[in-house]
Chains A and B, each alone.
Chain A
């Protein structure tokens, strides 16, 4: 759904999304890296399991909630990617203790 402009710089970092390795650019938010990889759905909503994806990219909509490095319900658009970061899509409400 999104592609990089040719001169935007190398995708030199690698993170995983649900175990799959994807390339990311230094300075990307996790949400941006997710979208750049061709993925769109970041979670199934806690109310109805409806698929949801990032909407505002500025931290106000709370749609981009993902589990990042073992901590759930983090706003992926506000977290910068780091080498080896483990990102997981969420299914429903956040798990207790995670």
Chain B
């Protein structure tokens, strides 16, 4: 796998082979643009369609029909003529659109006229006491183990949190013949009030039928405990039990070998942030969303963002956004004119609207409760550096106003994950402690490398005379 040398220049580079990336690269290639698709995994599909070309789950009914929709995207991409670069970790993108990518331990630079970031989403942090214990994982992790390796949990497994993915995983497990001990549903009762205002579009959407059927199947077979208001994992070096409360009632305990957490997903902003793309705080989805125009172009010239990285909207919306972003790139690069763009984008925009219908209801219903976003006391916030909520509060009281100063004070956010698992928590915790809005607090300022590369790889990158002079001085 090592020693793959790519062409050094493309019209369009797409980063991420999930639905948005696959659709974007396919469209770009079909529009006649020299296109390359980079992806970290060895096979395409991103996370939602993970392992779709080599699924370990032979029974197609287990994963559900929506999963297999991904096959069309992969087939279309494979025949589009775009270059596919799997096993490629993109670690930097400069404003000049020079991409630093590492394949098989060798770093190289590729330049593109237009870049479409499609790095998708990641699980929203779920900082409960004990979440770093072996035996605690994300629901997404369980799905990946199922899809790529045909593995299901053995022993006592509890799902906890809120959101459609929780129900989907439970349904997939049931179809695979695995019982789940309990689902601890943390959906705040109070969310219904706000969510109901947006019920009509949800009722008219494609999500209603799918979601309802899923949920009913699961509720028939699994013990669902609703209105869970607090949660912690306990055990000595390994998960042994889960302690929780319902409403205002007293603590209850469930023995467990595996706890799968999920309370929604958030855009994976690291690459976009490191390039310098502007982001705004989305108070419904409680995350940072990039500032984009109608073609999904970001605030950085020649860089677009498609898919869940542009704001959470699901797989179908992601593919449409990818197509629209590709058309936007073709327009910007003058391969098509405005009239052609307007004509070709009509279909995707129509489909995107349809795919977005009903999502507001889901966003509001499953908006996680504050106590699960802003932890207290000894709960670890930054897993990499083991920084607790109490330490962060103390630093804020000492005068730390934001996440970047916090990094300096506590090393919070300085670990290898670069804030992917703590960033949102930190922003909200600082905001709550200071009594200001998250927008006023901001987010970590990231720089390359966005994923680790070795010092030797970095050392082999090209250098100008000016670069060398800046370093080698007498």
On A, residues with C-beta under 8 Å from B are 1-5, 7-9, 25, 27-29, 32-33, 35-36, 40-41, 45, 47-48, 50-63, 65, 73, 77-78, 80
Contact partners of A48 in chain B: CB under 8 A: 386
Contact partners of A52 in chain B: CB under 8 A: 132, 134
Count of CB-CB pairs between chains A and B under 8 Å: 128
> With A1-B258, A50-B386 known to touch, is A58 a contact of B176 (CB < 8 Å)?
no
Point out the residue from A5, A25, A61 that lies within 8 Å of B57, measured CB to CB. A5
Tell me the count of chain B residues lying within 8 A, CB to CB, of chain A: 50
Of B4-12, B67-75, B415-423, B437-445, the stretch lying at the interface with chain A is B415-423
Q: List 14 A-B contacts (CB under 8 A).
A: A2-B145, A3-B153, A8-B150, A8-B151, A29-B148, A51-B238, A55-B137, A56-B421, A57-B145, A58-B141, A60-B268, A65-B416, A77-B144, A80-B42
User: Are A27 and B386 in contact, CB atoms less than 8 angstroms apart?
Assistant: no
> With A27-B149, A58-B47 known to touch, is A40 a contact of B135 (CB < 8 Å)?
yes
User: Are A60 and B122 in contact, CB atoms less than 8 angstroms apart?
Assistant: yes
On B, residues with C-beta under 8 Å from A are 40-42, 47, 51, 54, 56-59, 122-123, 132-138, 140-141, 144-146, 148-155, 176-177, 237-238, 257-258, 268, 383-386, 415-417, 420-421, 451-452
User: Are B386 and A47 in contact, CB atoms less than 8 angstroms apart?
Assistant: yes
Point out the residue from B148, B154, B176, B257 that lies within 8 Å of A28, measured CB to CB. B148
Smallest CB–CB gap between B312 and chain A, Å?
A: 16
User: Are B385 and A36 in contact, CB atoms less than 8 angstroms apart?
Assistant: no
Contact partners of B148 in chain A: CB under 8 A: 27-29, 32
User: Are B137 and A54 in contact, CB atoms less than 8 angstroms apart?
Assistant: yes
Point out the residue from B41, B150, B386, B452 that lies within 8 Å of A4, measured CB to CB. B150
User: Are A51 and B138 in contact, CB atoms less than 8 angstroms apart?
Assistant: no
List of 3 A-B pairs having minimum Cβ-Cβ separation, nearest first: A8-B150, A53-B134, A57-B141
> With A36-B149, A60-B420, A60-B421 known to touch, is A27 a contact of B154 (CB < 8 Å)?
no
Contact partners of A1 in chain B: CB under 8 A: 135, 153-155, 257-258
User: Are B140 and A9 in contact, CB atoms less than 8 angstroms apart?
Assistant: no
Smallest CB–CB gap between B406 and chain A, Å?
A: 17
Contact partners of B58 in chain A: CB under 8 A: 7-9
Contact partners of A28 in chain B: CB under 8 A: 148-149
> With A2-B152, A3-B152, A8-B150 known to touch, is A62 a contact of B134 (CB < 8 Å)?
no
**Which of B138, B144, B149, B417: most chain A CB closer than 10 A?**
B149
Contact partners of B41 in chain A: CB under 8 A: 78
User: Are A50 and B132 in contact, CB atoms less than 8 angstroms apart?
Assistant: yes
Contact partners of A35 in chain B: CB under 8 A: 145, 151
Apart from A5-B56, A62-B417, 17 more pairs, CB < 8 Å: A7-B59, A9-B58, A25-B56, A28-B149, A29-B148, A33-B149, A35-B145, A40-B135, A51-B134, A51-B238, A56-B137, A56-B421, A57-B140, A58-B140, A58-B144, A73-B452, A78-B41
User: Are A36 and B151 in contact, CB atoms less than 8 angstroms apart?
Assistant: yes
Contact partners of A7 in chain B: CB under 8 A: 58-59, 150
Smallest CB–CB gap between B15 and chain A, Å?
A: 14
Point out the residue from A40, A47, A57 that lies within 8 Å of B144, measured CB to CB. A57
User: Are A27 and B151 in contact, CB atoms less than 8 angstroms apart?
Assistant: no
Contact partners of A62 in chain B: CB under 8 A: 384, 415-417
> With A55-B136, A55-B137, A58-B140 known to touch, is A5 a contact of B420 (CB < 8 Å)?
no
> With A4-B150, A50-B132 known to touch, is A27 a contact of B137 (CB < 8 Å)?
no
Contact partners of B134 in chain A: CB under 8 A: 40-41, 51-53
A63 to B122, CA, bound (A): 15
User: Are A53 and B54 in contact, CB atoms less than 8 angstroms apart?
Assistant: no
Smallest CB–CB gap between A81 and chain B, Å?
A: 10
Closest to B384 in A: A62
User: Are A4 and B151 in contact, CB atoms less than 8 angstroms apart?
Assistant: yes
> With A25-B150, A57-B141 known to touch, is A78 a contact of B136 (CB < 8 Å)?
no
Contact partners of A32 in chain B: CB under 8 A: 145, 148-149, 151
Contact partners of A8 in chain B: CB under 8 A: 56-58, 149-151
User: Are B136 and A5 in contact, CB atoms less than 8 angstroms apart?
Assistant: no
Contact partners of A60 in chain B: CB under 8 A: 122, 268, 417, 420-421
Closest to B62 in A: A5
Contact partners of A47 in chain B: CB under 8 A: 384-386
A34 to B420, CA, bound (A): 24
Closest to B54 in A: A27
